[in-house]
Amino acid sequence: MLTMLSPDEKKALFLIAFKEFNGNISAACRVLDIGRSTVYMWMREDEDFEEQCKVSQLEATEEVLDEAEDVVRDWIKKKDKQTAQWFLTKLGKKRGYGTKLEVESTHHFDNLEFPDEPDDVDGWEHEDTAERKKDA
């Protein structure tokens, strides 16, 4: 069937399948019996086709994200503590939620001096031993 179609008609069918399979190139190629390399060749040779593929993939990603957000909302409405905690750590940072501790300092470290590094491993060991003896 596809052998009788023009390249533009094949591209149009691919774009329909690509959208149907949420931006999955492999699935769209499988259903149309088109090689992935053919699609990548079309993308290299046809900027409009490449742009349509990118737009379709972005739209598919947005749709899946919308669905995932709906699931998260449903779990939060069911008072699922883990989901609520995850949501707050990921999206509630502006309200003070998160898993990272951010530290601000007003100290200025302009004149820091560091000791010279030893030339070899033995030097490190010697300094470490001397430091421990001094602390004891």
Q: What is the pLDDT along the chain (136 residues), one digit of tens a residue?
A: 677 889 899 999 999 999 999 899 999 999 999 999 999 999 999 999 999 999 999 999 898 888 988 888 888 888 988 888 888 888 787 787 777 777 788 877 777 777 777 667 666 666 656 666 666 5
Q: Which residues contact 14 (CB under 8 A, 6 or more apart)?
A: 28, 29, 32, 34, 39, 42
Other residues' Cβ atoms within 10 Å of the Cβ of residue 50: 15
Tell me the whole-structure pTM to 2 decimals: 0.56
Q: Which long-range contacts (CB under 8 A, 24 or more apart) does 111-117 make?
A: none
Query: What is the DSSP code (8-state) at residue 5?
Result: S
